[in-house]
Amino acid sequence: QVQLVQSGTEVKKPGSSVKVSCKVSGNTFSRYATNWVRQAPGQGPEWMGAVVPMSRTPIYAEKFQGRLTITVDESTNTAYLDLSSLTVDDTAVYYCARSIPQLRYLDIWGRGTLVTVSS
Amino acid sequence: DIVMTQSPGSLAVSLGERATIDCKASQSLLYRGNNQNYLAWYQQKSGQPPRLLMIWGSTRESGVPDRFSGSGSGTDFTLTISSLQAEDVAVYFCQQYLSLPVTFGGGTKVEL
């Protein structure tokens, strides 16, 4: 059974960066896309970007271009989200979620990582 | 970007009654190449991540009860819960996956 296990809660200052990890169990890591989705309190989810480990080429939503970096470590089946220049508007739960590379419905989700940005 | 608009924002339904949630896309989600609608539905219970309920507008994922059904095509879609159970209390989201960035509706809160 595939599971996505995320790192723990983060509290950050405005202007800083945050790095969230997502470890994928099972032997499907390389063949599926790992997506990053965030959800601010009371809001709908917002897709940020994704990477397919086999291609190693991430794709980003235009909104996050320039301050979002998604990377993978295939040796540990782990994907990373790195978001810089944080503002209070980045306060949200950040999820990783799996999808078939060409079909981006999200069938398995991590439990989420709360990132709070506060001065 | 494709804008997804859900209605209503919330609804209260009695146990055993029907719940209907609408989702409207700013452009057609029907891909002529395979005649499929690139529309998914999710259920999110308090404190949990979203759970995928349905893909292609109307295909239930494994383990999803058959009281959940999806309909619609093009730009207008509906999720119906035919007989609401207590465990169905949640927020429901639609999502288009026809084009990047994938986008979600704002959610519909279903309560008793």
State pLDDT tens for residues A78-96: 999 999 999 999 999 999 9
Residues B81-91 have pLDDT tens digits of 999 999 999 99
Composition of chain A by helix, strand, coil, percent to 5:
10, 50, 40
Please count the residue pairs, one from chain A and one from chain B, whose beta carbons lie less than 8 angstroms apart. 49
Kindly report which listed range (A88-92, A98-102, B77-81, B108-112) carries the lowest average pLDDT score: A98-102
Hey, is the C-beta of A58 within 8 angstroms of any chain B C-beta? no
Q: Report the gap between the CA of B87 and the closest CA in chain A (Å).
A: 19
Hey, is the C-beta of A5 within 8 angstroms of any chain B C-beta? no
Which residues of B fall within a CB distance of 8 Å from A104? 97, 100, 102
Q: Tell me the two tokens of residue A2.
A: 């595939």
Which whole-number Å values give the CA distances from A30 to A55, A75, A95, A96, B39, in the listed order?
9, 10, 19, 15, 25
- CA distance between the termini of chain A: 40
Q: Do B49 and A97 touch (CB under 8 A)?
A: yes
Q: Report the gap between the CA of B91 and the closest CA in chain A (Å).
A: 9
Residues B66-79 have pLDDT tens digits of 999 999 999 999 99
As a whole number of angstroms, the distance between CA A7 and CA A29 comes to 17
SS3 B6: strand
Q: HSE on the CB side for B75, CA within 13 Å?
A: 8
- Closest listed residue to residue B42, CA positions, set A2, A44, A1: A44
Average pLDDT over residues A35-52: 95
Average pLDDT over residues A44-48: 96
Which residues of B fall within a CB distance of 8 Å from A101? none
Say yes or no to pLDDT of A55 above 90: no
